[in-house]
Amino acid sequence: MNFILSTPSLEDFIRLLRAWRFWVLGALLGALLGAAAYFIAPPPHRARATVNVDFNLEQAWPQDTDRQQFYYLERESRKLEELAWHDEIMSQLSSDFSVPVEVLRDGKLQLSQPAEAGWHFYADDNDPQVAASLASAWAEAFVQRVKAEIDSGNINEFIKLEVTQSGKLPTARSVPLSGYLLAGSTGFLMLSVFVVLFVKPKTNYK
């Protein structure tokens, strides 16, 4: 125990450098195990739909006051983000795709870039076509909901939205193979270093 808790000495680091074949082998083994995990239990497919959001600052704040524009963007962005996760939208998606609302909100759906310009609507599913359809439906429902709120006066009338990507969406695994390789390689590399540094070598007595 004292050996494990003691500060590594120069001799320990020399031993680590001499064991480079061991920790390189550990890194390679980790990468192979990461690849095996990827192909045995692959991550779900992920599709992305995009909605262009234009806050039209020039019309909303013609006096061009930076501070007011900042608070305007922050306030309206929060409103739109809340609408993206609105109960009615989630309930409709849940009904159409037979997925519980809790699952949709717990990582199956993800929203990226909630500011001006492109908002990305991500959906994960084991079936790439389902992922694409879910992402597209979410983006379309969001735009329709925001337009309804603009008509009712709850959202600034100068905000303009357009679905720019919703058809034939490309899909890819939510985590790439390289991520599994890196995680496995890094994990086993650290384990190899730990073994070399903290497992006390046997001392031969004559």
What per-residue confidence (pLDDT) applies to 7? 59
**Per-residue pLDDT averaged across 115-119, rounded?**
74
- Closest of 109, 119, 114 to residue 50, by C-alpha: 119
Which are the contacts of 58, defined by CB distance < 8 A and separation ≥ 6?
64
73: which 2 tokens? 């963007």
List every span in the chain annotated with CATH 3.30.70.1130: 45-173
CATH 3.40.50.10860 fits 45-173, yes or no: no
Global confidence as pTM = 0.74
**Per-residue pLDDT averaged across 119-137, rounded?**
94
Q: 126-134 long-range CB contacts below 8 Å, 24 or more apart?
A: 126/44, 126/45, 127/45, 128/45, 128/47, 128/171, 130/97, 131/44, 131/45, 131/46, 131/47, 131/171, 132/47, 132/168, 132/169, 132/171, 133/97, 134/47, 134/93, 134/97, 134/99, 134/108, 134/109
> What percentage of the chain reaches a pLDDT higher than 70?
79
> What percentage of the chain reaches a pLDDT higher than 90?
35
What per-residue confidence (pLDDT) applies to 109? 96
Q: Is residue 2 very low, low, confident or very high in pLDDT (cuts 50, 70, 90)? A: very low
Whether residue 12 is predicted with pLDDT greater than 70 in this model: the reply is no
Name which of 3-7, 77-81, 85-89, 115-119 the model is least confident about. Answer: 3-7
Name which of 99-103, 108-112, 182-186 the model is least confident about. Answer: 182-186
Whether residue 205 is predicted with pLDDT greater than 50 in this model: the reply is no
Beta bridge partner(s), residue 118: 52
